[in-house]
Structure 1
Amino acid sequence: MKQHYSRCLLTFLALLCLNVAMAQEIDVSGTIMGGENGEPLPGATVMVKGTTNGTITDFDGKFKLKAPAGARLLVTSIGFKSAEVDASSNVTLTLEEDVTRLNEVVISGLASTVKRGNLANSVASISAKELTTMSNQSTMDGALYGKFKGANIVSNSGAPGGGISIKLRGLTSINGSNEPLYIIDGVYLDNSSISAGLNVVSAAAGGGSQSNQDNPSNRIADIDPEDIASIEILKGASAAAIYGSRASGGVVIITTKRGERGETEVTLSQTVGVTQILNPLGTREWDAAKVEAAFGADEVANFQSAQAAGNLHDYEDELYGNKGFLSTSRVTATGGSDKTKFFMGITRKDDEGIVKNTGYEKTSFRLNLDQKIASWLDLKASTNYIHSSADRGFFNNDNSGNTMGIAFVATPSWAQLGKGSNGLYPNNPYAASNFLQTRDLITNNETVNRFLVGGTVVARLITQDNQSLRLNVNGGIDQYTLSTTAIFPNTLQFQKDGNGLNGVSVQGNTVTQNSNASIFLIHDFFPGSSGFSFTSQVGLTFIDFDQNNIIATASNMNGTQTNLDQSGSVSVAQNRIIQQDRGFFIQEEVNFNDMVIATAGVRGDKSSNNGDVNKLYYYPKGAIAINLHNFDFWNVNFLQQTKLRAAYGEAGNFAVFGDKFSALNAVNIDGSGGLIISNLKGNREIAPERQSEFETGIDFGLMDGKISIDATYYVKKVDDLLLRAQIPSSTGQTTAVVNAATMENRGVEIGLNMNLIRRENFSWSSTTSFWRNTSEVTRLDIPSYTVGGFADFLGQFRIKEGHSPTEIIGVGANPDEDGLVVFGDQQPDFQMSFLNQVNYGPLEFSMLWHWKQGGENINLTALLSDLSGTSPDFDKVDLDPEGELGNGDYRLSQLGANTAPYIENASYVRLREVALYYKLPVLQDYAKSVKIGVSANNLLNFFEYRSYDPEVSNFGGQGLSSGVEVTPFPSSKRYNFHLIVKF
């Protein structure tokens, strides 16, 4: 049977080759240039129109290929308008710059693309220039701030090494992940935030929320932003439906840099800089009366003695005042021949934090290879190795008073905490820990070794004038080992003398492996002169996820030993997650002369996480774009582009691994091991959360492409939300996971791109973006409940039908039927960003402003500092309606009766990035170009929020996580100097 298929395939290929050979072909060559100066344009795509036969230009803008006599060539390049020209032996063509990006290629399926001018969805695209050329970025996700519409990006921690959550077009889950799916060069990335087991010391989960409060980083931070060529963000199901049950939170598609034909080009770059705290608050100004009121009469003498001796300390500066040194070194090499192209990038990053003994080190090595195996067969391979180490300190919430932030806000300026002449630290009489001792002696490290390997094989099975058939096979592996080390020596104040566990060593090891494979068939068909073209694709996907997390905790350490076996007690916890997903997809795209472009498709998925592992869940999509300007009746001359578009799609979100089972937990009964059923009842009927989205919009282009405007309105409905419902205790369990709610998001996105000035020595471009989202729980099958905080009187979120899932409730006057009062909403009213880029001769200037209006935070840092009398604004009088009490006394007077004083507006205006570069005149014999520059991140910040930064999240990226602050690691600003040399 196999031989029969082989003979048929060989015969088919032989006939195909004969058919192609019979067509008369000519040798075509030429030069492609770009811009007003007509400089050679490398990397431009030159295609024989109506076929898939093509090539790209080399460093000098030159190309060669074969084409049928009389054919037309279609030439495209990112950032330029496409153009056509007759195929000949000496083609010369200059492309015009295209600020509107209408000819930019955007992914429209798992293996197909479409011109942005024909796209029916609002898909955000970020180029390498926008991502990293302004300023040096610490992490990839941090580089996304303010650069596209429809996102709410929040830093979970200011600690080096990242920790950022991204929500696209509002919430998509209440208990599950709201993070998008990340795909890099076809490899599905894991973006877990994994606990280091700090709860054994902090007891953060001992009261209120049981969520992970260890302040971990997330794994997308591993990716080097300097390797990235472009990012496309599919923000909702209307665009992301083709990715099925993993796409509820949207999809971020990352394409890394690849080689180009020509001589090898080497680029060396070095960035050095310094980081400092973003918004120092200062400390309270004390006098004897204030000391007595806050600490009692016996403390006045200590204050006066320290004051007389000049020993009052600015502990904010001592803890957060480190001027961290920043260094990023990078080498890239790119080049190749007609058959083999390569890109290599090596980055070494070493960033110190604003807290001593914190920092982030990363080494990233990338090698991408493109190989033309035959005229009809291409291979692309992407490899990346990353090693990183992050020291993150000990911050955020605790119920023991041990973290540095909580101990700091409890300590007045006359405390004497510095190391003595004997090398020992004194106990802090005002808190459970001496935060300077904790800073200098503890270890909280995350170390990652990560391998990313991806490959794509493209076989052009049929290549004819009016049709082509391609077979795409791709796959990849994302494998990493995360080692966490948390050491709390028994010499610490909160570990010695019976205060704690006499020293703790927590060592974790997590091995994660994602593997994915896909097989696609893509058929392009151009039937004669009808004006129609068809792109059909069908494929299968296979995705496996395996994560094994082991955390061993040792206490009662032997002296200064840190090994687990050098202890009096050891406990081990293991969490294993195994998931297998299988799916198929079909998509058809019809294009009529770029006038009407329609797309329809469906994805089918099944997963081991579902109650029925063999049941397929289907996710359809449909879209239409109408380019009115291409119709004969269109005579609005000042509008060169007018596109109406609409799209609908569905996507899913898998249930959490294990929710369909009633787990058996280990228990010790009279010294014998046993099993006891968990409190969570499994649901064998559990199904994915399901999202459906309708999006409509209009795009305009005017002034010959110098101005473009896009506007989008969407309605996103999330059904079958998975919630934990209370069940009768008579069942032997207390909660069960059920599909029990529906939520709806509505939003608007508007963009304005302007490129009004394009002269030989001067250009100016500007991009303005506006977006807003509102959410509502439209169905709730269980009673309303509060979540995402510590207690109702301190402020929490409430899940209630007819209300926003991110509304912040508390106690106060005129409560509703739940006995609660609504004080705000964590979601902002709207956000805007303003990107401006100016080139004047050899000078390049750019800046990015970000405005977030509205949205509230629960500021429990203010509560903790009020309780200790140390709040910087304690004596300021601007909160009490009567104008009598200072802010600290007023807030405390309302505690338990009125939550309002601890709910604060989190609006801000921020200069996210600003940069100035100068291109030096150099001799070509030494270097192709030399550029120097200066840049800054978060240089200017305007907000009234009474803490270090309105961007906070005590609970990381989990569920309803953002907007709760408990003494976090403060945010920072960065100043950089750059040197870039190309050879």
Structure 2
Amino acid sequence: MGLYRLSVPALFTALIVGITLAPESAQSQRRITGRVTAEETGEPVPGVAISVVNTPFGALTNDNGGFSVVLPEGAQSLLVRRIGYKRRIIPVEAAQSEVNVPLQRDALQLEAQIITGAATTIARRNAANDVAQVTSDQIANVQAPSLENALSGRIAGAQVIANSGAPGGGNQVRLRGVTSVFGSSDPLYVIDGVIVSNDAIQPGINAISAANRNTSNSTNQDNGVNRIADINPNDIERIDVLKGASASAIYGSKASNGVIIITTKTGRSRSTGGTGISVIQRFGTRDLSGKFGHRRFTLDEARAYGANVGLTQAEVDANFNSCGGFCDHEEELFGERPVSFETNISVRGGSEATNYFASLLNLYDGGIQRNTGYRKQSVRLNVNHTVNDKLSLQFNNNLIRTLTRRGISNNDNSGITPYFIFAGTPSWFDVRPEGSVYPATPVLGSNPLQNADFIQTPEEVYRLISSASASYGLYTSQRHSLQLKLDGGVDRYNQQVNVVSPRFLLFEGNDGLPGTVTSLSGNVLNANANFSAVHNYYPASGTFSATTSAGVQREINMLRSANVVTRDVLLGQENVNRGAATEVFADRQEIRGLALFAQEEVLAFQERLLATAGVRLERSTVNGDIDKFYAFPKGSLSYRWENPFSSVDEFKTRIAVGQSGNQPLYIQKYTPALGSTYDGQNALQSGLISGNPDIKPERQTEVEGGFDATLLSGRASLSFTLYQKTIDDVIFHIVTAPSQGFQVDIENGGSIHNRGVEIFLTATPYQTPSFSWLGRMTFARNVGVVTGLPSGVTAFNAERDATGQRVAFGPGYGIGRLEVGERVTQIIGSGCDGACLERRGDSAPDFTLGIGNDFTWKGFRLSALFDWQHGGDLVNVTHNVYDAFGTAPDREDGGAGRARENDVVGNAQYIYDASFVKLRELAVGYELPTSLTSRLFFGAARSARVEVS
């Protein structure tokens, strides 16, 4: 295949030799010194970047705010900037040797650097894309169940959807609408340059839940944990979100769903603050936020119901009286309030040559359901070392261990999921045990408290994420600089799950083989290596500067999993070799890829104009043609006007266009072989899915335009973005006629069209030396439409997932339907008394709105974040199950909860409005006075804060 025999491209050699040998006229230089201070207080500001305009020369201020920088002879200009302060350009006369610079604070973070290429960044004020950024203080403001929760309400165009409320994570992130139907829907996650895995290896609960009756192996209904939840939010410096192809094209065929780039914290030298130790200690509890409710029976109604399910009047009366006619089953199972805690200790420090960041995390998140919880331990060490003025090295290492006990939830067909049992159990029936004896529920038999007490679902993960980079300044002059960079990393984890369901459980004998034990082991390896060169050019005219970058990337992804399911296991045994019937399932995947990339950025007219063009060429073994390179180009343009109108400090217009892709899933290329026997011999037979040997990546083309404005002397900023993106070569799973021998055929050929608008407003409405108010608002609306289906394919219902398994109950409840000219998120249902299909709803919201406010007064701080989703629909099968058993909560109009709506043909009873307003975060804190802190900690602490959230 030649995937690993590519040498460094000739363009690097030509670039290196050409720049190194280029004649450069000798020019004399001089040195200027100075000091940078905060304008409000006069205190020194360390870590300020001082650069000589239109040259590669620069320096950083030390702990006293001082700096010394080399600059050419003659009059020059210094660009002075630091995140959190407003930039300044200071003219320096030819004879001047000293300069002092006061800086104003900037709550809007306009000097933040935005990622624009595989090896380059640009200041937010110049960026031609709407790249969202979340900073460390926002991420760790309150304790969140998972990292993705920190994005909710903060990123315009981002939807974070929780799969369940079980501890340990399990979220889906969608950026700018639906971009794939049967492909991957997750954004690409990159941590310190390492492309990390967010795969959820399903834990194997299906062996006892039978959610998918066709197999005992794990399925996507097992309520698995997505692995980005492993990351410690306290380690993160910032998160950059590339939401569309115009920005994410630099990541090629994995970036159609967006890219989330995570940068972790680094150390600091003595000149930028010295060594500091931070300790965070949190305690808290979690509560059931809302209950579904249950029908309340009179004694006569209870007796009638009991007679219908085979209970005697004496049994009904005994249960009815045991808890006063109403047993709160939800409270009994989900009423746990264990103490959760988080301890995070970090150290930042170093010398002028070497700095480090180290952290330790110990976290326990107690579940509200019996015997559930989540533990995480994490160790991180990041080291930066400057060997000399040309070579710098960086090493980041993170070792993580998690242990998750999520219990049983989601769908099932064996009657063990709590809400299925609740629906089939009248509220007067007491499920609590008498001694060690758990009563069988009258309809399903299974007891939710017994299941919670004795079913074990421990999921343990050990994970290592390591990255290393070396940057070498090969050549630097007044007009040119050439930097080479080599970086790479590894993300590797092992996941072990052992499900134990003892044979004495009430439901275990239903299959004739009581007692189930599973042993699932999964191993994932992601590794990538990159080599890049970055050339900066500063012409003597000073009219522009140009940054040229190019590089090559290699990547490998491997997954190995094995699941052993054993039934009829002896009492007290937990090993898979102690049963009478054993099944073994295994999965092996390996994907290798190679990519070349190049990009040109030009800043002109005093850094007001930014023009960018780039392309990524990529091939992968997951494609049908493993040797074909697919091109993903991009281009963008932005221009800033200074003080164009009254009260408008800066106004920037921008437009960007780009393409990115979505790789096929590993299984979609192949026709799977299933184990079988023939004439008494071991044999293979074709599976139900017909793979596509010519499959190729889905391709997204996006055009994005808008403006950014800085208003009211830097007290407000407004970002407005319109985008339009078309996804072509969409992969569809087509249900075929049984006569073809397959159930599903996989084809490229469809198209989806998305249009949307996003608004982001940040402002400091009121600010004094002792009080500040910082407000943020995000707004997003997206509409996605199916614009094409594969040739010869008519509209069809989305009943099967990427593996061919049925995942929907049919149009009677409401189901997605793919139809040209209709919303890709439409929900259709039975109409015309079951004789036709009608549109019943749409799973996508009309819009989302996030509002956050931070108030500080002296040492006090109050912050709140609201998240509003307007519109969108969901299918509530749980309500239907309650109705089917006649146990749904009583209605407001006085009607009793019973099977009154259990007719799914010709109505939309179970399609519900999914609108909500959530208070995502609320925190009140107080920073203790310095004198008190010093006394409490015997002079060993500089600051301390107490907070309730």
Taking structure 2 as the reference length, the TM-score comes to 0.92
Q: Residue 249 of structure 2 aligns to a residue in which SS?
A: helix
Distance in 1 between residues matched to 2:207 and 2:520, nearest whole Å: 13
Q: What is the CA–CA distance in structure 2 between the aligned matches of 1:210 and 1:194, rounded to whole Å?
A: 9
Select 1:820's aligned residue among 837, 853, 862. Answer: 837
* Cα displacement (A) at 1:594: 2.2
Q: How does 1:503-522 map to 2 (within 5 A)?
A: 503-522=515-534
Question: Does 1:900 pair with 2:908?
Answer: yes
* Correspondence 1:689-708 to 2 at 5 A: 689-708=698-717
Q: Structure 1 pair 198/112, CA: closer, same or farther in 2 (3 Å)?
A: same
Secondary structure in 2 aligned to 1:833?
A: strand
Which of 182, 198, 201 in structure 1 is aligned with 2:189?
182
CA contact (8 A) 2:883 2:900 kept: no
CA contact (8 A) 2:826 2:843 kept: yes
Aligned mates of 1:207, 1:728 — CA distance in 2: 20
Structure 1 residue 740 displacement after superposition: 2.5
Quote the Cα distance in structure 2 between the aligned partners of 1:308 and 1:12: 91
How far apart are residue 757 of structure 1 and its match? Answer: 1.9
CA shift for structure 1 position 272: 0.6
Matched, 1:612 2:625: yes
Verify: 1:56 aligned to 2:60, yes or no.
yes
Encode CA deviations 1:196-216: one digit per residue, 9 max, x unaligned: 222221111238999610001
How far apart are residue 487 of structure 1 and its match?
0.9
Q: 1:149 to 1:875 in 2, by over 3 A?
A: closer
Change (3 A) 1:15 1:647: closer
Q: Residues 644 and 651 of structure 2 are in contact (CA less than 8 Å); yes or no, is this contact kept in structure 1?
A: no
Deviations 1:263-322 (A, max 9, x none): 311111101111111113443222134335644465655443334444642111111111
1:371 pairs with one of 370, 376, 385: 385
Change (3 A) 1:668 1:327: same
Aligned residue number for residue 327 of structure 2: 313
Q: CA deviation at 1:326?
A: 1.2
Distance (whole Å) between structure 2 residues aligned to residue 207 and residue 679 of structure 1: 12
Q: What does the per-residue CA deviation read over 1:868-894, in whole Å, with 9 as the maximum and x for residues that have no partner?
A: 22222x34328xxxxxx54644322xx
Which whole-Å CA distance do the structure 2 matches of 1:344 and 1:846 have between them?
28
Asked if 1:837 is matched to 2:846, the reply is no
Q: Which moved more, 1:555-564 or 1:138-147?
A: 138-147
**How many Å apart are 1:520 and its aligned residue?**
0.9
Q: Which residue of 2 aligns with 1:743?
A: 752
- Matched residue, 1:946: none
**Equivalent pair of 1:150/1:772 in contact (CA under 8 Å):** yes
Amino acid at match of 1:907: S
162-171 vs 585-594, which moves further: 585-594
CA root-mean-square deviation: 2.6
2:732 maps to which residue?
723
What corresponds to 2:157 in structure 1? 150
1:26–1:363 CA distance, 2 compared to 1 (3 A): farther
882, 886, 889: which one aligns with 1:865: 882
| Corresponding position of 2:765 | 756
* 1:194 and 2:208 matched: no
Q: 2:814 aligns to what?
A: 795
Q: Distance in 2 between matches of 1:108 and 1:15?
A: 26
1:664 counterpart = 2:673? yes
Paired residues in the alignment total 911
Q: Hey, what does 2:4 align to over in structure 1?
A: none
Is 1:160 aligned to residue 172 of structure 2? no
**Offset of 1:147 from its aligned partner?**
1.0
Aligned match for 1:242, one of 246, 250, 253: 250
Asked if the contact 1:16–1:462 (Cα under 8 Å) also holds between the matched residues in 2, the reply is no
Q: CA deviation at 1:33?
A: 2.9
- Give me the whole-angstrom Cα distance separating, in 2, the residues matched to 1:267 and 1:625: 40
Ranges in structure 1 where 5+ consecutive residues have no aligned partner: 879-884, 937-983
Partner of 1:441: 454
| In 2, Cα distance between equivalents of 1:280 and 1:171 | 31
Percent identity over paired residues: 33
State whether structure 2 residue 337 is matched by structure 1 residue 323: yes
Greater CA drift, 401-410 or 287-296? 287-296
Residue number among 43, 51, 58 corresponding to 1:39 in the alignment: 43
Does 273-282 or 518-527 show the bigger shift?
A: 273-282
Matches of 2:891 and 2:214 in 1, distance apart?
A: 30
- Cα deviation for residue 730 of structure 1 reads 4.5
- CA distance in 1: counterparts of 2:817 and 2:171, whole angstroms: 23
Moved more, 706-715 or 90-99: 90-99
Residue 343 of structure 1 deviates from its aligned partner by: 0.5
Question: What is the distance in 2 between the residues matched to 1:795 and 1:294?
Answer: 30
- Give 1:73's match in structure 2, choosing from 65, 73, 78: 78
Displacement after TM superposition at 1:707 (Å):
1.6
> Could you list the per-position Cα deviations for residues 617-645 of structure 1 after superposition, in whole angstroms to 9, with x for gaps in the alignment?
1111111112133xxxx752321111111
> Cα–Cα, structure 1 residues 700 and 401, in superposed 2: closer, same or farther, change >3 Å?
same
- My pick for the range that moved more, 635-644 or 738-747, is 635-644
Distance 2:564 2:649 in 1: 65
Question: How far apart are the structure 2 equivalents of 1:548 and 1:35?
Answer: 58
Structure 2 Cα separation of the partners of residues 72 and 369 of structure 1: 33
1:959-974 matches, within 5 Å, as: none
Report 1:761-776 matches (<5 A). 761-776=770-785
CA shift digits 1:132-189 (9 cap, x unpaired): 12x1122211221111101111011111100000010001100111111000100001
Q: CA deviation at 1:386?
A: 0.4
Task: Between 762-771 and 730-739, report the one with greater CA deviation.
Answer: 730-739
State the partner residue of 1:285: 296
Whole-Å separation in 2 of the counterparts to 1:227 and 1:500: 50
The more displaced of 534-543 and 307-316 is: 307-316
**CA pair 257-28 structure 1, distance change in 2 beyond 3 A:** farther
- Identify the match of residue 550 of structure 1 among 544, 562, 566: 562
More deviation in 803-812 or 76-85? Answer: 76-85
> With structure 1 as the length reference, what TM-score do the two structures score?
0.89
State the partner residue of 1:979: none
C-alpha separation in 1, matches of 2:86 and 2:756: 31
SS across alignment from 1:374: coil
- Within the candidate set 889, 892, 899, 1:876 is matched to 892
Q: Hey, what does 1:806 align to over in structure 2?
A: 825
Q: Secondary structure at the match of 2:812?
A: helix
Distance, in Å, in 1 between the alignment partners of 2:774 and 2:608 is: 29
Q: Summarize the Cα distance change of 1:207–1:732 in structure 2 as closer, same or farther, 3 Å threshold.
A: closer
Partner Cα distance (2:735, 2:549) in 1: 46
The counterpart of 2:144, out of the listed 115, 120, 137, is 137
- Identify if the C-alpha distance between structure 1 residues 317 and 726 changes in structure 2 by more than 3 Å, giving closer, same or farther: closer
The letter for the 1-side match of 2:901 is R
The 3-state SS of whatever aligns with 1:323 is: coil
**Counterpart amino acid of 2:285?**
V
* Residue matched to 1:851: 868
More displaced stretch, 425-434 vs 224-233 = 425-434
Q: 1:89 to 1:359 in 2, by over 3 A?
A: farther
Task: Flag the structure with more relative contact order, 1 or 2, with Cα contacts below 8 A and sequence separation at least 6.
Answer: 1
Residue 265 of structure 1: which of 276, 298, 309 is its match?
276
Give the corresponding residue for 1:967: none
**1:576: which partner in 2?**
588
Task: Decide whether aligned partners of structure 1 residues 597 and 517 sit closer, same or farther in structure 2, where only a CA change above 3 A counts.
Answer: same
Unpaired runs of 5+ residues, structure 2, are: 1-6, 800-807
Pick closer, same or farther for the CA change 1:932–1:792 going to 2, 3 Å: same
Which whole-Å deviations, capped at 9, do the CAs of 1:113-143 have from their partners, x for residues lacking one?
Answer: 111111111110100011112x112221122
Q: How far has the Cα of 1:659 moved from its partner? A: 2.1
**Separation (CA, whole Å) in 1 of partners of 2:283 and 2:744:** 53
Mark the CA change 1:327 to 1:704 in structure 2 (over 3 Å): closer, same or farther: same
Deviation at 1:410, TM superposition (A): 1.8
Q: Distance in 2 between matches of 1:305 and 1:331?
A: 55
| Distance change in 2, residues 1:168/1:315 (3 Å) | same
Q: Distance in 1 between matches of 2:36 and 2:84?
A: 14
Aligned position for 1:224: 232
Q: Structure 2 vs 1, CA of residues 65 and 485 (structure 1 numbering), >3 Å: closer, same or farther?
A: farther
Cα distance in 2 for partners of 1:32, 1:759 equals: 22
What is the match of residue 87 of structure 2?
82
Distance 1:814 1:556, change over 3 A: closer
Match of 1:119 in 2: 127
- Aligned equivalents of 1:569 and 1:210: distance in 2? 17
Deviation of the 1:466 alpha carbon: 1.9
1:353-392 to structure 2, matched below 5 A, reads 353-392=367-406
